[in-house]
A and B are shown apart, each in its own frame.
Chain A
Amino acid sequence: MSINQQSATIRIELTVNGREVSLEIQPNLMLLDLLRDRLSLKGAKRSCDLQVCGACTILVDGKAVSSCTYLAYEARGADVLTIEGLADGNTLHPMQQAFIDNGAFQCGFCTPGMILAAKSLLDETARPSEEKVKEYMEGNICRCTGYRKILEAILDAAGRSGGAPVRG
Chain B
Amino acid sequence: MDEAVALLGRYGDDAALYAGGTELLLAMKEGLLRYGNLVNIKTVSGSDRLGYDTSTGELHIGPAVAHRALELSPEVAARFPLIARAESTVANVRVRNVGTLCGNLCFAEPHSDPATFLLLYNASAEVQGPAGTRTIPVEELAVGPYETCLEEGEILTSVSVPQFAPDMMSAYQKFGYHQRPTIGLGVAIRLENDSVAEARIAVGSVGPKAVRIPEAEELFLGKTVPDVLSSGTSVLDEAGKMAAEAAQPMDDLHGAADYKEHLVRVFLERVFAEAVGAAPTAQRSAA
- Which residues of A line the B interface, CB within 8 A? 1, 3-5, 7, 28, 30, 49-52, 54, 57, 63-66, 69-71, 74, 117, 120, 135-136, 138-140
Contacts and interface: CB of A to CB of B under 8 A. Distances in A.
A64 B94 contact: yes
Interface residues of B, number: 20
Interface in B152-205: 179
A139 B94 contact: yes
Contact of A64 (B31, B93, B179): B93
B39 to A, nearest CB: 13
Contacts of B91: 51, 139
Contacts of B68: 63
7 contacts: A4-B28, A50-B179, A52-B92, A64-B94, A66-B94, A70-B98, A139-B95
Interface of B: 21-22, 25-26, 28-29, 31, 34-36, 68, 88, 91-95, 97-98, 179
Contacts of A136: 93
A140 B34 CA distance: 29
Contacts of B29: 1, 3, 30, 49, 69
A117 B95 contact: no
A-B pairs with lowest CB-CB distance, top 5: A139-B92, A3-B28, A63-B97, A66-B94, A4-B34
Contact of B98 (A1, A65, A139): A65
Contacts of B22: 51, 69
A150 to B, nearest CB: 15
B25 A5 contact: no
B94 A65 contact: yes
B94 A71 contact: no
B98 A52 contact: no
Contacts of B34: 4-5
Nearest to A48: B179
B64 to A, nearest CB: 12
A50 B36 contact: no
A57 B95 CA distance: 11
A8 to B, nearest CB: 11
Nearest to B98: A65
Given A50-B26, A135-B88, 13 more contacts: A3-B29, A5-B36, A49-B29, A51-B22, A51-B26, A51-B92, A51-B95, A52-B179, A64-B97, A65-B98, A69-B21, A117-B93, A120-B93
